[in-house]
Amino acid sequence: MNLYEFEGKELCATHGIAVPKGIVVRRGENIFAAYTALEVEEVVVKAQVLSGKRGKYNAIRFCSSFEEVATACEEIFQMQVQGQYVAAIRIEEKLAIAEEQYLSISYDNQTRQPILVHSKKGGVDIEDVEACDIRKEILDIRKEDVGVVDIPFAQELWNCFLGEDARQVEINPLVKTIDGTWIAADAKVALDDDAFYRHESWKNFEARTMMGRLPTDREKEVTAIDAGEDYYRGTAGKYIEMDGDIAILFSGGGASIANMDALIKTGLKPANYTEYSGNPPREKVRDLAKIVLSKPGLRGLWIAGGVANFTNIKETFHGIVDALDEIKPAYPIIVRRAGPYEREGMELLRECAVRNHLDLHLFGKEVSMSETAGILARHVN
């Protein structure tokens, strides 16, 4: 889960990292009260979105009066920053900056260990900094002591990384003010979704989306499928509602993206992007399929996935059959899947089609996934 800046700063502050004095406002709230509550004249008005580079899109404004703040808030709330919905605005004190540095901790894929990255050239993307100006320290996940004493907030950031089950914690810029105080002027935090059972407070995080809008009711419902004590039993929570009329039930992430391209090339428009992964139980797949098929105006259903190694095809298809038995759609249904227990799974679908008079077409590994997109297009059109 990626956090908004204000959420990341709240976590940083709980671990002893200084952050600017600030306040969050949302649409319809009293901006004048928020601005005056800060008791500072010079402020920064910052859009709360899940992407970076806000300054390049005029989503960070420097203001020195309430009138300027009100105008900035009004304009920012009407924006989409890189296509993303502005969830809130943080108004915070403007810092008197003497120096900007960069500091982060994240997992390194090569060493498979956490790595601390520090540069005395902050305030820009770390990719734009010369390698000679970047310091990297591999950290031992077994030790609470970060072992780095000459970097401001290194220990506090390590405490945050460990204590919050984070995948990434980044401060950019890490600012030294003219009076010598170190402060996190920005915070980017990504949490490990698989650790939510350890953090009751995570339930308080507001819903978020990368689609330039608030989450739909169906998106919220799908997310809830993977909640609870059985969260680890396969996942079914990847669902993005779209504007088309072809329902999608994919399995496998990389192939799913390619399949979306294949579908669009046929001239059809997806009603959603969704995929389940791992070995989700029957009831999870049933709930996912029912939500996918609940969208009005659907003209077809495409169920597709590669050749599975470990997924029990019969178990997952049993969940889909449960949903089809209840909904009984009249539009064409194209299925392409292979893997363990595929023969039994396909038989479940055939029996379901007979008793519910479904327009169902089944394909195995002898037909590519992209080919079945074209088959669906011919049946729909």
Q: Is the pLDDT of residue 52 over 90?
A: no
Nearest to 275 by CA among 256, 298, 301, 260: 256
Nearest to 264 by CA among 375, 362, 337, 373: 373
Q: Is the pLDDT of residue 229 over 80?
A: no
Look at 114 and 257; give whichever has higher pLDDT: 114
Q: Does CATH place domain 97-198 in 3.30.470.20?
A: yes
CA distance 362 to 367: 10
Q: Does CATH place domain 21-93 in 3.30.1490.20?
A: yes
Nearest to 14 by CA among 163, 205, 170: 163
| φ, ψ (nearest 5 deg) of residue 302 | -120, 115
Nearest to 181 by CA among 62, 99, 93, 92: 99
Structure tokens, 213: 């809008």
Among 241-255, 261-275, 346-360, the least confident range: 241-255
Q: What is the mean pLDDT of the chain?
A: 92
Stated as kind and residue range, the H or E segment containing 286 is: helix 282-292
Task: Give percent of the chain with pLDDT exceeding 70.
Answer: 96
Boundaries of every domain in the chain: 21-93, 97-198, 215-380
Among 61-70, 195-204, 226-235, the least confident range: 226-235
CA distance 2 to 109: 19
Q: Produce one character per residue of 138-169: b if its CB has 16 or more CB atoms within 10 Å, e if not.
A: ebeeeeeebeeeebbbbbbbbbbbbebebbbb
Which one of 3.90.79.10, 3.40.50.261, 3.90.330.10, 1.10.260.40 gives the CATH number of domain 215-380? 3.40.50.261
What's the mean pLDDT in 316-326? Answer: 97
Q: Residue 107's pLDDT is what?
A: 92
What are the tens digits of pLDDT across the range 143-185? Answer: 999 999 999 999 999 999 999 999 999 999 999 999 999 999 9
Q: What is the CA radius of gyration of the chain?
A: 25
Q: Residue 210's pLDDT is what?
A: 64
According to DSSP, residue 207 is labeled: P
Which residue matches tokens 């169902």?
360
Note whether 21-93 and 215-380 share their fold: no
Nearest to 120 by CA among 99, 138, 146, 106: 99
Stated as kind and residue range, the H or E segment containing 307 is: strand 300-307
Which residue matches tokens 């329902």?
247
At residue 282 the predicted structure's pLDDT band, cuts being 50, 70 and 90, is: very high
CA distance 204 to 349: 40
